[in-house]
A and B are shown apart, each in its own frame.
Chain A
């Protein structure tokens, strides 16, 4: 199958799953569970955003939550000021995208090494965490929106139909929006990977020097990938703000670390893997939370340790390998044809 054919198939399957989720879950789940599912969709989108930056760009970003939180906060602030959630989406995405572009520009054009990139991005999200926590009090407001310090912004406005701020979306509708965002971004990632830009980005991850010697601008490509990842994280923040409300914890080390774990467990270089790992690990954590005397963080740490030790490449690539071994004819290339002489 061609790459385009395979991507089309993946997108079609994802579309079917999205439609099924949208049709079935709102009716089948209690309100609380549905809101929870919406949060998971937001988190899965966050996982996807890092899976893209890391998998397609080879960019080790430990602070993907910086753009997640910025997107959420910008949405809340703009929504409160406009009195219209729909109008706040674009500013929120703009803020997250510009923040990623600015940080990426400093890192890539400053020729920061990979390890430092991890440190810098983590530091940025922790600085934002500190900052957001310190914004308690009346002096910290942007227009009508009080940033609220440790408490965040409980009055984060819900989305509404464009031009109709009096009619906020119901939790069911927010869930549908979340699923559509997740599916849309997944399809976008798959399509971007088919373009020359996406293929060059992957090639750069494989061998930066070779790409550069072929005339490709490595820094511009990495900046592009990082910025797209930041924009998706910002969108995840907007969705998250619609089911919970924005607070400094969006920038926290706990979240930043979890995103990395989801991608590692799911498999760097895959996209379904990190999303699935995100949902599975959150389901596991929320189940563990109901078991008295059990620490969900301990469980998460255990899973990460087990995953890194037992399936170092992540669950999805390992599963694919196992499948491939069961059907050997699929992966092995045809044996040497006679080379056509020219």
Chain B
């Protein structure tokens, strides 16, 4: 069997006394669509920061197609093919939306192709009319869409989405769900969501984080009907 696209082995991230990510071992296959859920403070974003090089893990390993890439610089991990939409949208606030998306594509493609990819990404997300607006002037939901366009424009092998629909209306959320399914046709996707409706709509396998550890991992149906998961979300101590 070939190595998974991405795997972690005992990944741990400590901040002083806080263990935000505690010995997490998960793997994601090529082309997989994975949901990651867990209550606030479960360590999801911190886990992603370890995967994308924003944090150097305290211990454990990150493997990309079987190769150890632990602790590499974010731009090197991005070049491997990892794209991430951060929980708080990170955009080039002073630049027109389209320029940011073009630059995203421009690293791998020529100028003409980048323009085409940028227009396509903005169109797919339904924000072509915002192309010339400075990213800093967008409403929160629009920012999410703009960042999504930026992340998917270069078509990374693995797309990580940290709460992509926060701040979006119903219609935008539905469009995003559609986009994620479409993306998943030829890209692996990891998405964090709190909206169970949304999870049910898109997910195959769901991984549940709780207090920095993997509480369980199973099909969406089984996870969402598991009493432990309900307890965790309602704030009761997990068994």
Chain A contact residues, CB within 8 Å of chain B: 196, 199-200, 202-203, 206-207, 209-218, 333-342
Contacts and interface: CB of A to CB of B under 8 A. Distances in A.
Contact of B103 (A200, A334, A342): A200
Interface in B83-103: 83-84, 86, 90-95, 99-100, 103
B56 interface: no
B107 interface: yes
Contact of A213 (B86, B123, B124, B126): B86
A340 B83 CA distance: 25
B61 interface: no
A209 B107 contact: no
Q: Is the interface of A mostly helix, strand, loop or mixed?
A: loop
Contacts of B99: 199, 203
Given A215-B75, A215-B79, A216-B75, A339 B129 contact: yes
Contacts of B75: 212-218
Contacts of A212: 73-75, 78
B150 to A, nearest CB: 7
A216 B107 contact: yes
A206 B123 contact: no
B104 interface: yes
Contacts of B132: 333-334
B123 A196 contact: no
A135 to B, nearest CB: 42
Interface in B152-171: 154
Contacts of B93: 206-207
A132 to B, nearest CB: 38
B54 A209 contact: yes
A332 B75 CA distance: 35
Nearest to A217: B75
A149 to B, nearest CB: 45
Contacts of B122: 339
B140 interface: no
A-B CB proximity, top 7 nearest: A215-B78, A206-B92, A336-B129, A210-B90, A333-B132, A212-B74, A339-B126
B194 interface: no
Nearest to A214: B104
A209 B86 contact: yes
B128 A207 contact: no
Given A202-B95, A207-B91, A207-B93, A214 B107 contact: yes
